[in-house]
Amino acid sequence: MILPLTGSWKYDVIGFITILYIWETYIKIRQYKKVCNAKIPKQLEEHIDEEKLEKTKAYQKDNYRFSFITDALDYIENILIIHFNILPLIWGLSEKILVKFGYNSEYEILQSLVFMGIFMVINYILNLPPDLYNTFVIESKHGFNNTTLKLYVIDEIKTCILAVVFGVPLISIFLKIIQKTGDAFYLYIWIFMAIVQLLILIIYPNFIQPLFNKFTPLEEGELKTQIEEIAKSVNYPLKKLYVVDNSKRSGHSNAYLFGLGKNKRIVLYDTLLKQVNNEEICSILGHELGHWYNSHNIKLLAFGEIQIFIIFYIFSHLINYTPLYKSFGFDVQPILIGFILFSFIFTPIDSLLDFIMNVYTRYFERQADEFAAVSLKRSDCLISGLIKIHIENLSNLIVDPLYSAWNYSHPPLLERIDHIKLCQENMNKKKE
Annotation: binding site for Zn(2+): 287, 291, 365
Q: From the candidates 12, 369, 370, 415, which is the catalytic residue?
A: 369
How far apart are the C-alpha atoms of 299 and 78, rounded to whole Å?
33
Q: Kindly report the CA angle at 404 between 307 and 387, in degrees rounded to 5?
A: 115
- Return the SS3 of 287: helix
* CA distance to 96, 233, 278, 396, per residue, from 391 (Å): 55, 30, 18, 9
How far apart are the C-alpha atoms of 323 and 326, rounded to whole Å?
5
Q: In sequence order, what are the beta bridge partners of 244?
A: 215, 269
Contact status, residue 296 vs residue 368, Cβ threshold 8 Å: yes
Contact status, residue 241 vs residue 263, Cβ threshold 8 Å: no
Q: From the candidates 280, 288, 370, 400, which is the catalytic residue?
A: 288
Contact status, residue 291 vs residue 364, Cβ threshold 8 Å: yes
Q: Count the Cβ atoms, other than its own, within 10 Å of residue 371.
A: 22
How far apart are the C-alpha atoms of 309 and 302, rounded to whole Å?
11
- Return the SS3 of 258: strand
Concerning whether 354 is annotated as a catalytic residue, the answer is no
Report the Cα 170 to chain-centroid distance in Å.
Answer: 20
Report the Cα 310 to chain-centroid distance in Å.
Answer: 21
- Return the SS3 of 64: helix
CA dihedral sign of residues 120, 343, 406, 403? positive
Q: Give me the DSSP letters along 195-254.
A: HHHHHHHHHIIIIIGGGTS-EEEPPSSHHHHHHHHHHHHTT--EEEEEEE-GGGTBS---
The single-letter DSSP state of residue 3 is P
Concerning whether 369 is annotated as a catalytic residue, the answer is yes
Rounded to the nearest 5 percent, the helix, strand and coil shares of the chain are: 75, 5, 20
* CA distance to 66, 67, 68, 78, 354, per residue, from 72 (Å): 10, 8, 6, 10, 21
Active site residues: 288, 369
